């Protein structure tokens, strides 16, 4: 019994709960650790009234400084990193001068977020860079280009497809701001970022690329078999098209920052007419005739080996001078970019083979690499885009236009030199044109997509002209090879010629309809052609006029439509200057001693000659109607008139001068029957101290008077009108000098 009661008591003691008494705390455990501490004071310097804050340092609304935001960019939390980017934009928007001293640490911190795994952080960073980079001066941004491109090209090969697509979006921003740095070394002849950028594009598209070799099998750059969505594919192909268009442009035409579309005052780039001359020097000499005052010193620069004496028969012996680019801004401080540009000019002769236009073989191999991608994308999108009676998806429409632009950029360079044309590339281009042909000309009822359809039609016209010209120039060289292939190849060749003839005929009809402003069908309304479309059609118009591939009737129809449009278009129309530059080149080409073709010999076609003469004679009326509204167009017209008067034969010049003198009189002074003598538009032109247009007008008038004196005609009415117009003006002494000099020369 005693043992049993003792066990019960021990058991109750083990599991009994101590009763708490009122007013007394709970007894501490026997194994409790005392964590209390005692201190005399707690020091918080940032909250002390004795601490002086730096009130001059800019802060955000959340009281964060630049250093705080930079540290937050490295935070593990996604929201903190995104808020740090927003805070940087807020801070720089209010304190832009902060970048003068903080640009380097800012770029070093931002580039590490290009490959961030969170999509919202990358999206916020893209928006921030698109806002910040265009506002930074180019000379301050270029030193940071290697770092920006290093992390961007690294993100192009990331394991996640979303990061690779966003890296392409970052490249679009860099192509806008620093295009020359992005494309540097793109053709793999130099160690630059452009080669890695191009390899990244091809890797995303799973197209493969090559490393150094120009021939042989392609090596894949990506092992990821990711099928891109149409939207992602559009981002990559559009960026690649922009990259190639920038890389394949002449170095002097690449914008230093930003890609600005040509406006109405942008002069015509007639590089497509280069095949009419025996050499590049002859072409540049011809183009110098059309240079306006704002283009002097900014044109194409070509290089010549220095010689102690220039041969007398050299075509550039009188006009070639050395070029010193830093003298253009002698009074301004030289920037880092100016010095780099000067260094590139000094080494241009040694590195002339590295220019984009010199690497036709590389571009040809690249065109072959992308051929399957172009065909595949087009066949995927064409049925839904060109299906009648349905609203096409905008993404697929833009994909069609983008791959057309891609083919245009590549094959324009590949097939530009007729002596280096490979039949394989001609066949590739013909296959692309054949796939596009059933849907040409494309049209839509959706006004938002109308511009995209028009661009597709314009590019198709140029690709067709390239294919026809290339096949014609290459047929003679490969005649023996084709003959050896037998009857099957001959049949295929005959079929391809029939297709080319049909396509050329349809392109001719489209161009004629656009120039005349006719509607495509009864459901549409005819509209006048806009300057952008007219500028885009000029290479095709020239190809149809100058090529032997087009029939004589088609070429004649295109010439008549071009001249009719040039005569009909209003003087104040945005197309007027382009028509003057193009038709003026056609007129002067017939008078050019270096011109290789004979298509523009208007003496063989009286109808064409009559329209050319009518166009030349209507130019004084255009100058009178323009007045001082468009000085660029006025100067272009005056230069064309002056060159025509100087280069025509003696008989034609006398007829032109007699026609011009009566048309030029109202430009200087008008004898009104009721109000008497009134000043003409000449008085509204800026004085010669600010512009050279008045001097150019006087040169035209003096040339007309001189031609009249040579034929025994004094043209007193014109001489009197000019004398009244320059009386008391700055140009009075110049006119007296020019008139006296020509009179003395006649004696």
> For residue 327, what pLDDT is reported?
52
Question: 242 vs 703, which has greater pLDDT?
Answer: 242
SS3 245: helix
* pLDDT-wise least confident of 256-260, 429-433, 453-457, 630-634: 256-260
For the segment 108-117, what is each residue's pLDDT rounded down to a tens digit?
Answer: 999 999 999 9
| Angle 330-336-338 from CA coordinates, rounded to 5° | 45
Beta strands in 553-681 (DSSP E): 669-672, 676-679
Evaluate if residue 236 carries a pLDDT over 50.
Answer: yes
Question: 566 vs 672, which has greater pLDDT?
Answer: 566
> For residue 543, what pLDDT is reported?
85
> For residue 374, what pLDDT is reported?
92
Evaluate if residue 484 carries a pLDDT over 50.
Answer: no
> For residue 728, what pLDDT is reported?
82
Question: 468 vs 434, which has greater pLDDT?
Answer: 434
Question: 404 vs 545, which has greater pLDDT?
Answer: 404
> For residue 325, what pLDDT is reported?
52
For the segment 580-608, what is each residue's pLDDT rounded down to a tens digit?
Answer: 889 888 888 877 776 666 556 656 677 88
Evaluate if residue 350 carries a pLDDT over 50.
Answer: no
Q: Which whole number is the average pLDDT over 181-191?
A: 78
> For residue 412, what pLDDT is reported?
87
> For residue 218, what pLDDT is reported?
47
Q: Which of 684, 638, 577, 536 is nearest to 265 (CA)?
A: 577
Question: Which domains, ranges and CATH numbers included, belong to the chain?
Answer: 59-211 (1.25.10.10)
Taking the C-alpha atoms of residue 55 and residue 474, their distance in angstroms, rounded to an integer, is 75
> For residue 334, what pLDDT is reported?
56
Evaluate if residue 201 carries a pLDDT over 70.
Answer: yes
The secondary structure of 114-128, three-state, reads: CCCCCHHHHHHHHHH
Q: Tell me the percentage of the chain whose pLDDT exceeds 90.
A: 20
For the segment 84-114, what is each residue's pLDDT rounded down to a tens digit?
Answer: 999 999 999 988 888 888 899 999 999 999 9
Q: At 407, is the pLDDT very low, low, confident or very high (cuts 50, 70, 90)?
A: very high
Residue with tokens 């939390």, as numbered in its chain: 77
- Which tokens belong to 64? 């964060």
Q: Which whole number is the average pLDDT over 515-519?
A: 83
Evaluate if residue 354 carries a pLDDT over 60.
Answer: no
* pLDDT-wise least confident of 262-271, 578-587, 629-638: 262-271
Report residue 3: phi and psi, to 5°. Answer: -65, -40
Sign of CA dihedral 167, 171, 177, 179: positive
Evaluate if residue 575 carries a pLDDT over 70.
Answer: yes
> For residue 154, what pLDDT is reported?
93
> For residue 256, what pLDDT is reported?
54
Q: Which whole number is the average pLDDT over 464-491?
A: 58
Q: Which of 57, 116, 108, 105 is nearest to 81 (CA)?
A: 116
Evaluate if residue 357 carries a pLDDT over 60.
Answer: no
Q: At 143, is the pLDDT very low, low, confident or very high (cuts 50, 70, 90)?
A: very high
> For residue 220, what pLDDT is reported?
41
For the segment 654-664, what is each residue's pLDDT rounded down to a tens digit?
Answer: 777 777 878 88
Q: Which whole number is the average pLDDT over 308-318?
A: 52
For the segment 266-287, what is each residue's pLDDT rounded down to a tens digit?
Answer: 778 888 888 788 877 888 888 8
Q: At 550, is the pLDDT very low, low, confident or very high (cuts 50, 70, 90)?
A: low
Q: What is the pTM of this model?
A: 0.77
Q: At 30, is the pLDDT very low, low, confident or very high (cuts 50, 70, 90)?
A: confident
> For residue 663, what pLDDT is reported?
84
Burial class (CB in 10 A: 0-12, 13-18, 19+), 98: middle
Task: For residue 420, give the DSSP letter.
Answer: G
Evaluate if residue 497 carries a pLDDT over 70.
Answer: no
The secondary structure of 159-172, three-state, reads: CCHHHHHHHHHHHH
Q: Tell me how far apart the terminal alpha carbons of the chain are, to the nearest angstrom.
A: 161
- In terms of average pLDDT, the best of 16-25, 129-138, 471-480 is 129-138
Question: Average pLDDT of the chain?
Answer: 78
SS3 391: coil
> For residue 522, what pLDDT is reported?
65
> For residue 476, what pLDDT is reported?
47
């Amino acid at each position: 019994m005693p043992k049993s009661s003792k066990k019960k008591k021990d058991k109750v003691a083990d599991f009994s709960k101590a009763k708490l008494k009122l007013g007394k705390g709970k007894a501490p455990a026997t194994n409790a650790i005392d964590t209390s501490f005692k201190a005399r004071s707690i020091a918080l310097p940032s909250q002390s009234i004795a601490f002086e804050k730096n009130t001059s340092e800019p802060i955000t609304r959340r009281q964060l400084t630049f250093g705080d935001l930079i540290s937050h960019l490295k935070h593990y939390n996604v929201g903190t990193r995104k808020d740090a980017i927003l805070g940087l934009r807020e801070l720089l928007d209010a304190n832009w001068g902060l970048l003068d001293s903080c640009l380097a640490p800012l770029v070093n911190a931002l580039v590490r977020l290009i490959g961030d795994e969170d999509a919202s952080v990358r999206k916020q960073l893209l928006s921030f860079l698109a806002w910040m980079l265009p506002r930074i001066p180019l000379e301050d941004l270029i030193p940071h280009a290697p770092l920006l491109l290093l992390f961007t090209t690294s993100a192009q090969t990331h394991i996640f497809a979303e990061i690779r697509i966003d890296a392409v979006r970052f490249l679009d921003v860099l192509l806008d701001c620093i295009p020359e740095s992005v494309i540097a070394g793109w053709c793999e002849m130099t160690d630059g970022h452009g080669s890695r950028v191009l390899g990244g594009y091809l890797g995303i598209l799973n197209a493969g690329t090559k490393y150094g070799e120009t021939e042989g099998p392609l090596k894949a750059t990506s092992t990821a078999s990711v099928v891109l969505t149409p939207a992602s594919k559009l981002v990559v192909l559009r960026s690649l098209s922009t990259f190639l268009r920038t890389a394949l442009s002449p170095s002097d035409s690449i914008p230093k920052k930003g890609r600005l579309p040509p406006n109405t005052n942008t002069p015509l780039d007639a590089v497509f007419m280069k095949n009419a001359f025996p050499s590049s020097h002859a072409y540049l000499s011809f183009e110098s005739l059309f240079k306006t005052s704002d283009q002097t010193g900014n044109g194409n620069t070509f290089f010549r080996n220095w010689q102690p004496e220039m041969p007398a028969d050299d075509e550039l012996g009188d006009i070639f001078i050395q070029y010193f680019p830093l003298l253009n801004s002698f009074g301004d401080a030289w920037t880092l970019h100016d010095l780099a540009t000067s260094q590139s000019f000094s080494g241009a002769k040694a590195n002339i083979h590295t220019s984009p236009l010199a690497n036709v073989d590389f571009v040809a191999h690249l065109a072959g690499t992308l051929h399957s991608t172009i065909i595949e994308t087009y066949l995927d999108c064409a049925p839904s885009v060109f299906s009648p009676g349905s609203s096409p998806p905008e993404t697929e429409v833009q994909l069609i236009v983008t791959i057309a632009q891609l083919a245009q950029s590549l094959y324009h360079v590949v097939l530009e030199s007729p002596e280096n044309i490979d039949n394989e590339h001609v066949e590739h281009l013909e296959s692309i044109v054949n796939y596009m042909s059933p849907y040409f000309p494309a049209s839509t009822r959706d006004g938002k997509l109308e511009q995209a359809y028009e661009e597709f039609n314009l590019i198709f016209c140029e690709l067709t002209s390239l294919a026809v010209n290339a096949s014609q120039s290459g047929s003679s060289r490969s005649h023996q090879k084709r003959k050896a292939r037998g009857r099957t190849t001959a049949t295929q060749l005959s079929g391809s010629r029939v297709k080319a003839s049909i396509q050329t005929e349809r392109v001719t009809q489209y161009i004629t309809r656009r120039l005349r402003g006719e509607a495509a069908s009864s459901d549409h309304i005819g509209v006048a052609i806009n300057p952008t479309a007219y500028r885009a059609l000029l290479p095709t118009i020239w190809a149809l006029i100058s090529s032997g591939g087009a029939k004589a009737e088609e070429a004649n129809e295109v010439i008549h439509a071009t001249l009719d449009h040039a005569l009909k278009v209003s003087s104040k129309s945005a197309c007027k200057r382009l028509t003057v530059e193009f038709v003026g080149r056609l007129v002067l080409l017939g008078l050019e001693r270096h011109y290789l073709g004979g298509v523009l010999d208007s003496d063989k076609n009286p109808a064409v000659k009559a329209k050319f003469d009518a166009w030349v004679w209507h130019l004084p009326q255009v100058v009178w109607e323009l007045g001082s509204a468009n000085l660029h167009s006025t100067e272009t017209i005056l230069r064309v008139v002056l060159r025509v008067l100087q280069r025509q034969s003696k008989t034609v010049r006398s007829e032109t001068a007699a026609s011009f003198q009566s048309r030029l009189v109202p430009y200087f002074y008008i004898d009104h029957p009721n109000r008497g003598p009134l000043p003409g538009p000449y008085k509204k032109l800026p004085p010669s101290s600010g512009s050279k247009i008045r001097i150019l007008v006087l040169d035209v008038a003096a040339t007309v008077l001189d031609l009249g004196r040579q034929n025994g005609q004094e043209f007193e009415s014109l001489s009197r009108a000019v004398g009244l117009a320059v009386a008391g003006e700055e140009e009075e002494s110049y006119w007296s000098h020019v008139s006296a000099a020509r009179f003395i020369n006649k004696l």
